[in-house]
Amino acid sequence: MANPSLELKSIVHEYGQGDSVLQILKGASMKLMPGEMVALVAPSGTGKSTLLQIAGLLEKPTSGEVFLNGREASALDDDARTAFRRNDVGFVYQFHHLLPEFTARENVMLPQLIAGLSPREAAERADQMLDYLKIGHRADHRPAELSGGEQQRVAIGRAVANAPRLLLADEPTGNLDPGTAGYVFEALEALVRQSGLSALIATHNLEIAARMDRRVTLQDGLVVDRDAD
């Protein structure tokens, strides 16, 4: 049986110190299997972004363990964590965070160049990704020349440019109108289904959440399956 793409074990995360400690996560645990698309639906302030940052090794938990593809990753040193993020994890945020001075193609090329691909190969793969996301005709345009939906599709292309096994998305359609949000999610869903990567997607959009394999929420600092009986 395949290892989970992501496994969180008893994650505790606290802010502050002394008498002013705020405990956001209180032993959160979950598994995400290869090819699975899971919606994280919870009110603001419950720790969704914190959970995603810990899952993606951007932040260390106060206690608990993070396993990526069966390997315990939360205790790795900074260099090893960076390598894990670069090769195995893709991130998409509510705001696209594209580099404004670069074209759509160049934005998708950047993580590939950092990973050691040649400029020619990175450009070819970037063009293939943008074509798949139906914005290949906009490859030479800079972010300011793209619509919100186009910008977010470029951000998705950049996130999966290095073929990660895990995609983490924090409100990826939250800054878009409903029609554009649906179109962007369709592109993201098609990419996930075809590539077989796993995706944990925080969203307030219940229609989008219902299209995923299952929904989880955060309740009293724990991950709870919303679709359980």
**What is the number of domains present in the chain?**
1
- Per-residue pLDDT of 19-77, as tens digits, reads 787 778 898 999 999 889 999 998 887 888 899 999 988 888 889 999 988 888 877 88
CATH number for the domain spanning 167: value is 3.40.50.300
What is the value of pTM for the model shown?
Answer: 0.87
- In which band, very low, low, confident or very high, does the pLDDT at 17 lie, cut at 50, 70 and 90? low
**Does a structural domain hold residue 194?**
yes
Which tokens belong to 123? 């450009």
**Does a structural domain hold residue 17?**
no
Is-contact 136 130, C-beta < 8 A? yes
**Does a structural domain hold residue 7?**
no
Q: What are phi and psi of 89, to 5 degrees?
A: -130, 135
CA torsion 68→71→72→78, rounded to 10°? -80
Q: List C-alpha distances in Å: 192 to 22, 39, 110, 170, 195.
A: 35, 13, 21, 16, 5
Query: Residue 229: its pLDDT value, please?
Result: 43
Q: Is the dihedral of CA 218, 224, 225, 229 positive or negative?
A: negative
Q: What is the C-alpha separation between 59 and 56, in angstroms, rounded?
A: 8
Range of the domain at 55: 36-60+88-225
Q: What is the C-alpha separation between 179 and 186, in angstroms, rounded?
A: 11
- In which band, very low, low, confident or very high, does the pLDDT at 92 lie, cut at 50, 70 and 90? confident
Q: List C-alpha distances in Å: 111 to 107, 119, 150, 200.
A: 8, 11, 19, 21
**Does a structural domain hold residue 66?**
no
